Amino acid sequence: MANFPTITIEDVSVPKALIGINSLLGWSHTSGGRDEWIRKYFTAERIAEVFAHCIKLGLYGVLGPVYPRL
């Protein structure tokens, strides 16, 4: 895992950048068609690949709601 800059909050180390999930869940904020395409493209397997790659980069904090697809 890469060393990404972190900050400590209440004795917990948190990366200074967080993984956003809007696009992974189909919230493009552009159009309904784009949202639909994203939801079809980002299957559970592809979402897992994105998170695995982020973890390799040292990004392990996620900003977003708890959502069943995740």
DSSP state for residue 7 in the 8-state scheme: E
Domain segments of the chain as ranges: 6-63
CB distance 21 to 62 below 8 Å: yes
CB distance 20 to 63 below 8 Å: yes
Query: What predicted TM-score, i.e. pTM, was given to this entire model?
Result: 0.77
Q: pLDDT (tens digit, 9 = 90+) per residue, 18-62?
A: 999 988 888 989 999 999 999 999 999 999 999 999 999 888 889
More confident residue, 37 or 14: 37
